[in-house]
Amino acid sequence: MTYYDILRNIKTVDEVNRLVSEIDILLDSLFKADTNAFEKALNSISVVTSQALKDTFLKNNANLGNYAMIKDLLIKLKEELQKFKVLKLSLAFEVSEGSIDNLFAWVLTNLGSGIILDIKEDKKIIGGAIIEFEGKYKDLTLKKKLEEVFGSKREEILTQMSS
Amino acid sequence: MTLIGFMKDFNYYLNTIGEIGYVEQTTNAIIYASGLPGVKPRELVLFENGEVGQVLSVSYNLIEILVFTRDPPKAGEKVVRTNEFLNIPVGPELLGSVIDSLGNSLEDLPIQRKPMLSTRSVTASPTGILTRKTITKQLETGVSIVDLLLPLGYGQKELIIGDRKTGKTNFLFQSVLTQAKLGNICIYAAIGKKKVDIKVLKEFFQKHNILKNIVIVASGSQDPTGLIYLTPYSAMAISEYFRDEGRDVLLILDDLSTHAKFYREISLLGKRFPGRNSYPGDIFYIHAILLERAGNFTTSKGEKAITCLPVVETIQGDLSGYIQTNLMSMTDGHLYFDIDLFAKGRRPPINPFLSVTRVGRQTQSNIKREISREILSFLTLFEKMQNFTHFGAELNETTKISLSVGEAITRFFDQQPSTSIPINVQIVLFCLLWNNAKQSGSPNNEPDLAWIIKVYEANKDIRKMIDTMVQKATSFNELLGTVKQKGDELLTSINKSKYDN
């Protein structure tokens, strides 16, 4: 079985969560009395996901009428989605789609596949980033730098401020 | 300064160690967290809310953490490594205080009179054979039946076993009273006790003016399970500190059956496979590693001992319980508090035939050993004779005398809960009783024990007279002779001081 295309396009934790909830909608529809429920559900989710899933079903020779195989595929896809490693980033600004693409491209090149981003906005850090990956923690923020400076040169700064 | 006082803040550890984890699941005292790739078993971890936990085990993707709070951190909270292990602040300032297993004072007043700068590992491993010495000194408990029949030595581990409400705690109080009066340090670990019991404990020591030699490490039954579990380990760490400071220590662990129950709770919550009576497989290990830390040691300040008296409860006198037999095999004997003897009015109800002391006898002088042997063989005979009386048989004069002497010895061993009898007084009194019994067959002329103890402690001449009598004698018969000669004189002197007062 291959999910390559659909998994390759996932970059963030938010996308994983969205995809998981869409898969849940599809899985629920498989057990409804309405025979067209699955097709209706497939059309109700986002077009991109719907198309990606249709391609996946096609590549795995799964007929849309073969509910047992579809169910198996969707459950396994959900399991695959839980296997991603998460790189957490705390940034001082709201990231654009373009920035996410750039960050993800860097991750893919330097750390390899199977890693997604969890980006949070935290204005308190002023600048720079906090990076968390596989339990490792790096605080590369401007806030920390400033605190270090204020900590080590406290007297000097206070003198200059009072003069 | 408490354990928390010794620790830095969350961000310090986060930035210096550079590892982070997240709480994934909480089940009462146990928390499962992800992350922290470099964490080690037994390492302390710090939660975002300032709570501390100890790593119990590490699996492929989750860490099992024991927390010491009633309100565990919520799922999603951050956790950091500290690269530190559980230590408890120690120092002479602890004497006279009641603390929990993390070193926090349980009283309104702060325990510290000056800052305590040293700490001790709570979960230290027992020291090796090279640091240990043979047990050679007798430990006085102040309880006649124990000191004469079932002697204990400094560094011995003696299990106190019996049903609830059979006077185990009274015996422990008497032992602590005797040892504290001798200037030794006593550490009392009250494990999962009611708050009122902890208060009673302190008040008893306070009343007898011995609190300055005592540290009470207590956990209440309502405390977090993690704290209760740690109590005996913390008490042992404090004992080790005082031992290394050149003091002999008496450590009471009251009681290990409660401790085992709380550890079972932790293990079952931690999804460990339940074994016999649902206890986990490592229940033997967690008690053995604790008790192995007691003993007689060679320290830089000479030969010093941690004498350990763990307590275990039985149910309806059943000695064959799981925890009970485990502890029996780890200790150097046990004192059995018999519920039947308690019902017959014996105080303390220690059954000398079902009790064992493995290393205590080697600490006795020849004369004490002779006395012990004499009493035991007589009591065995007395037990057999008592069985005859059940059949309503007509008894001859000799049997009647033996029975009355036996009853007198039994009475001799009866002791008020808070009295501690010095060992030489016990010996001389026994000789008086024995002489009297052998002579007249009516050993009913019993002296006023409380007064004798008081005089012995206060009057130097009488103390010297009693001590010399025991020390000079080379055999039991010789001592009997001496007591026969000087006994009346001694009793007259004691009575005289009574009337003088």
Tell me what pLDDT residue B384 has.
85
CB within 8 Å of A14: residues ≥ 6 apart: none
Q: Kindly provide the ipTM of the predicted complex, given to two decimals.
A: 0.78
Are residue B136 and residue B59 in the same domain, yes or no?
Answer: no
Determine the distance in angstroms separating the CA of A103 from the nearest CA of chain B, rounded to an integer: 22
Q: Are residues B222 and B237 in the same domain?
A: yes
Q: Domain end: B325, B341, B364, which one?
A: B364
Active site residue B358: yes
On whether both B337 and B419 belong to a single domain, the answer is no
Q: How confident is the model at residue B399 (pLDDT cuts 50, 70, 90)?
A: confident
Cis peptide bond N-terminal to B422, omega within 30: no
Q: Does a cis peptide bond (omega within 30 degrees of 0) precede residue B332?
A: no
Mean pLDDT of B400-427: 88
B415-461 pLDDT tens trace: 988 889 999 999 998 898 888 777 765 555 566 778 888 888 888 88
Answer for the pair B64, B34: CB distance below 8 angstroms, yes or no.
Answer: no
Element (H, E) at B241: helix B225-244
Name the pLDDT band for B98 (thresholds 50, 70, 90). Answer: very high
* Distance separating alpha carbons of residues B346 and B170, to the nearest angstrom: 13
Residue B111 lies in a domain: no
pLDDT at site B8: 85
pLDDT for position B443: 52
Distance separating alpha carbons of residues A23 and A27, to the nearest angstrom: 6
B113 is a domain residue:
no
Listed by number, the residues of chain B in 18-47 with a beta carbon closer than 8 Å to a beta carbon of chain A are: 18-21, 34-38
Q: Determine, yes or no, domain membership for B125.
A: no
Chain B residues closer than 8 Å to A144 by CB: 15
The number of beta carbons lying within 10 Å of the beta carbon of residue B446 is: 13
Q: Which residues of A touch B (CB under 8 A)?
A: 132, 134-139, 144
Q: Are residues B351 and B373 in the same domain?
A: no
Instruction: Specify whether the backbone of B83 is left (phi greater than 0), alpha (psi in -120 to 50) or beta.
Output: left
Radius of gyration of chain A (CA): 23
pLDDT digits (tens, 9 = 90+) for B141-182: 999 999 999 999 999 999 999 999 999 999 999 999 999 999
* Count: domains in chain B: 3
My answer on whether B274 and B336 are in the same domain is yes
Please tell me the predicted confidence (pLDDT) of residue A39: 86
Domain that holds residue B414: 367-500
Start-to-end CA span in chain A (Å): 72
Confidence class of residue B66 from pLDDT cuts 50, 70 and 90? very high
C-alpha B201/C-alpha B220 separation (Å) is: 13
- B146 shares a domain with B230: yes
Residue range B52-81: mean pLDDT, rounded: 91
Catalytic residue among B42, B132, B272, B358: B358
Q: Among candidates B246, B194, B249, B183, which has minimal Cα distance to B219? A: B194
Q: How far is A157 from chain B (nearest CA, A)?
A: 23
Contact A135 B15 (CB under 8 A): no
CATH code of B61's domain: 2.40.30.20
DSSP single-letter state for residue A114 = S
Residues of B in contact with A136 (CB under 8 A): 18-20, 37
Give residue B14's Cα distance to chain centre: 42
What's the pLDDT at B1?
41
In the three-class reduction of DSSP (H, G, I as helix; E, B as strand; rest coil), residue B218 is classed as strand
pLDDT tens column, B203-241: 999 999 999 999 999 999 999 999 999 999 999 999 999
Query: Residue B492: what pLDDT?
Result: 83
pLDDT digits (tens, 9 = 90+) for B40-49: 998 999 999 8
Q: Per-residue pLDDT averaged across B67-82, rounded?
A: 90
Same domain for B336 and B428: no
pLDDT in tens, B19-48: 999 999 998 889 999 999 999 998 999 999
Task: Name the token pair of A152.
Answer: 């080590």
Residue range B99-126: mean pLDDT, rounded: 79
Mean pLDDT, rounded, of chain A: 89
Report yes or no on B453 lying in a domain.
yes
Q: Which residues pair with B397 in a beta bridge?
A: none
CB-nearest to A139 from B15, B19, B34 is: B15
How many angstroms separate the CA atoms of B271 and B274, rounded?
8
Is the CB of residue B14 less than 8 Å away from at least one CB of chain A?
yes
**Per residue in A46-65, is it b (16+ CB within 10 Å) or e — as a string?**
eeebbebbeebbeeeebeee
Do B375 and B433 lie in one domain? The reply is yes
Structure tokens at B13: 């550890």
A42-47 mean pLDDT: 89
Domain boundary among B323, B338, B364: B364
Same domain, B336 and B443: no
CATH of the domain at B160: 3.40.50.300
- Of B24 and A66, the one with more pLDDT: B24
Asked whether the predicted pLDDT for residue B409 surpasses 70, the reply is: yes
Task: Find where tokens 């090796």 sit.
Answer: B128
Average pLDDT of the residues in A79-97: 92
- Put simply, whether the predicted model's pTM sits higher than 0.90 gets the answer no
Average pLDDT over residues B118-131: 92
Q: Which residues of B161-187 are buried (b: 16+ CB within 10 A; e: fewer)?
A: bbbeebbbbbbbbbbbbbbbbeebbbb
Domain boundaries, chain A: 4-82, 85-152
Answer yes or no: do B404 and B480 share one domain.
yes
User: pLDDT at position B2, please?
Assistant: 45
What mean pLDDT comes out for the span B361-381? 91
A139-157 residue pLDDT tens: 999 999 998 898 888 888 8
**Contact assessment for residue B299 and residue B246, using Cβ atoms and an 8 Å cutoff:** yes
Q: Which residues of B touch A135 (CB under 8 A)?
A: 19-21, 34-38
A61–chain B nearest CA distance, Å: 35
**pLDDT of B393:** 65
Residue B116 resides in a domain: no
Residue B208 in any domain: the answer is yes
Specify whether B78 is located in the same domain as B224. Answer: no
**Quick one: how far is CA B35 from the chain centroid?**
42
Render pLDDT for A118-133 as a digit per residue (tens, 0 to 9): 999 999 999 999 999 9
Which of B325, B191, B195, B323 is closest to B264 using CA atoms?
B323
Contact B383, B410 (CB under 8 A): no
Write down the pLDDT at residue A3: 63
Of A135, A139, A144, the CB nearest to B19: A135
One-character DSSP codes across A145-163: HHHHHHHHSHHHHHHHHH-
Residue whose C-alpha is closest to residue B486's, from B461, B459, B454: B461
Residues of chain A found within 8 Å of residue B14, distances taken between Cβ atoms: 137, 139
Beta carbons of B20 and A138 less than 8 Å apart: no
Average pLDDT, chain B: 89
Instruction: Show which of residues 51-110 on chain B sit within 8 Å of chain A, judged by CB atoms.
Output: none
